Amino acid sequence: MSSSQFSSLLLPPVFAPQLRRLSFLQSHFGANGTLRNSCSPLLRAKESSLRSMATDENIVGSVRQQLAKLFEESLRVTVPEELDVDPLIAPCQNAKFGDYQCNNAMSLWSKIKGKGTQFRGPQPIGQAIMKNLPASEMIDSCSIAGAGFVNVVLSRQWIAESIQKMLTDGIETWSPRLPVKRAIVDFSSPNIAKEMHVGHLRSTIIGDTLARMLEYSNVEVLRRNHVGDWGTQFGMLIEHLFDAFPHGEVSDQAIGDLETFYKASKQRFDSDPPFKERAQRAVVSLQAGDERYRNAWAQICEISRRGFERVYERLGVHLEEKGESFYNPYIPGTLKLLDEKKLIQESEGARVIVIEGKNIPFIVVKRDGGYNYASTDLSALWYRLNEEKAEWIIYVTDVGQREHFEMLFTAAKLAGWLPAEDNKYPKASHVGFGLVLGEDGKRFRTRSTETVKLVDLLDEAKNRCKAALIERGKDKEWSEEELDKTAEAVGYGAVKYADLKNNRTTNYTFSFDQMLNDKGNTAVYLLYAHARICSIIRKSGKDIDELIKTGTLDLAHPDERVLGLHLLQFAEKVEEACNNLLPNVVCEYLYNLSEDFTRFYTNCQVVGSAEETSRLLLCEATARVMRMCFHLLGITPVYKI
Ligand code: ARG
């Protein structure tokens, strides 16, 4: 946790760093397998033009949502006296019974029995629900099982047509609908003058994916970098800076490694009393807005920022910085609001909010009158709800900060800023993740340094991938640029996927050997699977865009139907991943998709068969859904291997 400590002195808002858009470079490959380098504005323009094809009318919603609509109508007719019954629709556990089931009968029965109902148990309710379903092309047949469960077999024709429609209208039309319009994802958020560690890497990767999933689901996302850019540590940093550069000739090169600079100043602070005194006075000057101190502070922040940006650029992650210092001017007002609600009390000289069930209170003003991490987060939360009008605020940090966020959210509920019920909006969620462990099972670190430098880590992943490609003779087939871009896509993709595929709350073991394995559930395997599908299409010699316009998709073989249904379930998996803030749901979906594809490809001949056109369309649809999964996971796809 940031140890930033705040002073009660007010800062003018101009002191806050500008909201910064970090430009990012992302390279990717063209559909024909050639390399194309597109910088972010282009890429984003392209994405947004794609997005604009998904209008409110042509977004179909997930299969589950579409079925829910049908069952909602039936429920209204079946039990008109029960208003607002949410249809309970789930995929069937056993494919023998059908594809989906409606589970409302049992709970309806317990609600209406004894109230003079005509029904004699859950079974007849299920029968009636089934009978009252409006006619729909979606459904092939229905049956009743057990205590009134209505099993649904989807129409093969409808599945095929839905996939074909996606091929024509774009995969954006498959995006799920979520109940919020604007969300904030607070992620990455490293601390100034300190190295970004692997914990921040996890936050960056997980946060970026959550933002991408929400963006795909038509939510406007504010990607917030809540950097630790304020606190008493700046006193010693500034004084050390003044001593090292008395004439103000500061530059990145001159400072060198900020972490070392930080350590040197900390060492002086701890061992040199006059220096310590100067540092403490510097904090006061900084907080009073003294220009010389403000400039030095800004310089240190800027050098740090450039280091962070290098990592974001590599990862293709986009963030907007609103650091801790931004909220400083809002703290007194926020505390006043809480005070008016009688939530703040004195405790041992500090000012605190007592939270029921917690052993320690939430300290909002320290004993010396200074503000802290909690006061800033209270102001940031107030600002996000009231000024930015966010309906969902998501914080991505290690699980070690769970207690802090529990207290923060409870305080906001007590203040009436957030509803007391967790299922209502606006909502705040803490997305906690576990530690990164080394292969020895201990906290991940390298031999040379205590913390792992993120840039080195990414370099190593890329270099290992490049070596593997050269070993396979790709250096003879490809240009140096192609080799480099592929190694980057696979290497960085592997680092991201290894992190995302785990349930985020567990610790995860960082192992290059495991993540770069081309077999099993790894990005390497999945990227290769995608490239193989592209090569099937290329080798057919057919123009796929032409086939999309003129051909028809049929899912006659059972393995084709299984694959087709899996494709169609993409939207509800994204919906589930968003609702539970679990990126691993998308990873699991992607891995299963590649398995379903392998089964199909093993059992159904594509090129040269009578069903060639239909099967090529199924290959193309699979490749597109895989690419959207990669996009959501922040992984650049490769088109040939
Ligand atoms: N800077 C903090 C850290 O490194 C993370 C900040 C998370 N966001 C927040 N609003 N508290 O631990």
Q: Is 226 in the pocket of ligand 1 (CB under 6 A)?
A: yes
| CATH number for the segment(s) 454-633 | 1.10.730.10
Atom of ligand 1 nearest to the CA of 324: 10
pLDDT band at residue 54 using 50, 70 and 90 as cut-offs:
low
Contact yes or no for 489/524 (Cβ under 8 A):
no
How is residue 70 written in tokens? Answer: 């049908």
Q: 397 C-alpha to center of ligand 1: Å?
A: 7
Looking at the predicted structure, is the pLDDT value of residue 3 above 60?
Answer: no
pLDDT of residue 636: 97
Q: What is the CA radius of gyration of the chain?
A: 28
Q: 13 C-alpha to center of ligand 1: Å?
A: 21
Q: Where in the chain are the domains?
A: 63-158, 200-433, 454-633
Q: Is 191 in the pocket of ligand 1 (CB under 6 A)?
A: yes
Q: Alpha-carbon distance 361 to 1, whole Å?
A: 17
Q: Range with the lowest mean pLDDT among 52-56, 186-190, 320-324, 351-355?
A: 52-56
Grouping H, G, I as helix, E, B as strand and the rest as coil, residue 598 is: helix
Looking at the predicted structure, is the pLDDT value of residue 392 above 90?
Answer: yes
Q: Is 395 in the pocket of ligand 1 (CB under 6 A)?
A: yes
Q: Range with the lowest mean pLDDT among 47-51, 73-77, 293-297, 615-619?
A: 47-51
Burial 283-301 (b: 16+ CB within 10 A, else e): bebbbeeeeebbebbebbb
Looking at the predicted structure, is the pLDDT value of residue 30 above 70?
Answer: no
Question: If you take atom 12 of ligand 1, which residue's CA is the nearest one?
Answer: 1
pLDDT digits (tens, 9 = 90+) for 542-594: 999 999 999 999 999 999 999 999 999 999 999 999 999 999 999 999 999 99
Q: 23 C-alpha to center of ligand 1: Å?
A: 22
Q: 398 C-alpha to center of ligand 1: Å?
A: 9
Q: Alpha-carbon distance 77 to 208, whole Å?
A: 44
Average pLDDT over residues 502-509: 87
Share of the chain above pLDDT 70, in %: 88
pLDDT digits (tens, 9 = 90+) for 430-456: 999 998 888 888 877 654 455 567 788
pLDDT band at residue 12 using 50, 70 and 90 as cut-offs:
very low
Average pLDDT over residues 463-481: 95
Average pLDDT over residues 387-396: 98
Q: Range with the lowest mean pLDDT among 4-13, 119-128, 568-577, 588-597?
A: 4-13
502 against 18, higher pLDDT: 502
Atom of ligand 1 nearest to the CA of 404: 11
Looking at the predicted structure, is the pLDDT value of residue 621 above 70?
Answer: yes
Grouping H, G, I as helix, E, B as strand and the rest as coil, residue 92 is: coil
In testing the pocket of ligand 1, which one of 188, 189, 223 has its CB within 8 Å of the most ligand atoms? 189
Q: Alpha-carbon distance 51 to 560, whole Å?
A: 29
Question: If you take atom 7 of ligand 1, which residue's CA is the nearest one?
Answer: 189
Q: Is 1 in the pocket of ligand 1 (CB under 6 A)?
A: yes
Average pLDDT over the chain, rounded to an integer:
88
Q: Phi first, then psi: what are they for 224, rounded to 5°?
A: -100, 125
Contact yes or no for 149/102 (Cβ under 8 A):
yes
Grouping H, G, I as helix, E, B as strand and the rest as coil, residue 25 is: strand
Q: 203 C-alpha to center of ligand 1: Å?
A: 10
Question: If you take atom 2 of ligand 1, which residue's CA is the nearest one?
Answer: 2
Q: Is 377 in the pocket of ligand 1 (CB under 6 A)?
A: yes
Looking at the predicted structure, is the pLDDT value of residue 241 above 80?
Answer: yes
pLDDT of residue 443: 76
Question: If you take atom 4 of ligand 1, which residue's CA is the nearest one?
Answer: 190
Looking at the predicted structure, is the pLDDT value of residue 28 above 60?
Answer: no
Q: Alpha-carbon distance 405 to 411, whole Å?
A: 10
Looking at the predicted structure, is the pLDDT value of residue 404 above 70?
Answer: yes
Atom of ligand 1 nearest to the CA of 401: 12
Question: If you take atom 11 of ligand 1, which residue's CA is the nearest one?
Answer: 377
CA 341 to mean position of chain CA atoms = 35
pLDDT of residue 505: 86
Share of the chain above pLDDT 90, in %: 73
pLDDT of residue 40: 32
C-beta neighbour count of 610 within 10 angstroms:
8
Burial 154-187 (b: 16+ CB within 10 A, else e): bbbebbbebbbebbebbbbbbbbebebebbbbbb
Q: 347 C-alpha to center of ligand 1: Å?
A: 25
Residue 478 sits at the vertex; the CA angle it makes with 472 and 482, to the nearest 5 degrees, is 105
Q: Alpha-carbon distance 36 to 41, whole Å?
A: 14
In testing the pocket of ligand 1, which one of 227, 320, 397, 404 has its CB within 8 Å of the most ligand atoms? 397
Strand ranges of the sheet holding 100-102, from the earlier edge strand across to the other edge: 89-91, 100-102, 149-154, 139-145
Grouping H, G, I as helix, E, B as strand and the rest as coil, residue 365 is: strand
Looking at the predicted structure, is the pLDDT value of residue 249 above 80?
Answer: no
Q: Can you give the pTM of this predicted structure?
A: 0.88
CATH superfamily for 200-433 is: HUPs (3.40.50.620)
pLDDT of residue 413: 98
Contact yes or no for 38/60 (Cβ under 8 A):
no
Q: Is 308 in the pocket of ligand 1 (CB under 6 A)?
A: no
Q: Is 189 in the pocket of ligand 1 (CB under 6 A)?
A: yes
Average pLDDT over residues 415-436: 94
CA dihedral sign of residues 44, 50, 53, 55: negative
Q: Is 195 in the pocket of ligand 1 (CB under 6 A)?
A: no
Q: Is 202 in the pocket of ligand 1 (CB under 6 A)?
A: no
Atom of ligand 1 nearest to the CA of 186: 8
pLDDT digits (tens, 9 = 90+) for 15-25: 323 222 222 22
The answer, yes or no, to whether the previous bond of 426 is cis (omega within 30 of 0) is yes
Q: Is 228 in the pocket of ligand 1 (CB under 6 A)?
A: yes
Question: If you take atom 5 of ligand 1, which residue's CA is the nearest one?
Answer: 189
Atom of ligand 1 nearest to the CA of 227: 1
How many residues comprise the chain? 641
| CATH number for the segment(s) 63-158 | 3.30.1360.70
Q: 182 C-alpha to center of ligand 1: Å?
A: 21
